[in-house]
Every structure is written in structure tokens, then in C-alpha cells.
Amino acid sequence: MGSVRFDILEKLDKKDQEAVAYFLRLLLNKTKYRKLKEEIEERRKEIERGDTLSHSEIWDQLDV
């Protein structure tokens, strides 16, 4: 896909500019947070299964 030309947005009326801006925010948020949401969901599943480390196990792994 080619580069986005923002000068086109200036030609739209205010209502259409707001609609385009809303759509862009939805797309950016979806892409921006997808990986984080997947990681959070995976952590929740681990907790439900009991696949978590204790405090001492964490320190033992750090070898401190």
C-alpha cells in the first residue's frame, strides 16, 4: 500500500474528518495492543492451571 496522503483529509468536511480519525484510532489500538492482550490472556490461563512460580523459585532462577 502506498503512503498515506493527509492533504486529502483536509478536503473533507469536519464530520467526515472525525469519522476517518475514529476509524484510524480503532485500527491503531487494535494493532498496538494485540500482542499485550494475547500475553495477558496467556498469563491468566497459566494462573488458572497453577503454572506459576513461587517467590523462592524466581530468586533461584535468577541465581542471586
- pLDDT, one tens digit per residue, over 28-43 is 788 778 888 889 899 9
Task: Please say whether the beta carbons of 52 and 46 come within 8 A.
Answer: yes
For residues 46 and 2, what is the distance between their CA atoms, to the nearest angstrom?
Answer: 42
DSSP string, 1-60: -----THHHHTS-HHHHHHHHHHHHHHHHHHHHHHHHHHHHHHHHHHHHT----HHHHHH
- Band (pLDDT 50/70/90 cuts) for residue 10 is confident
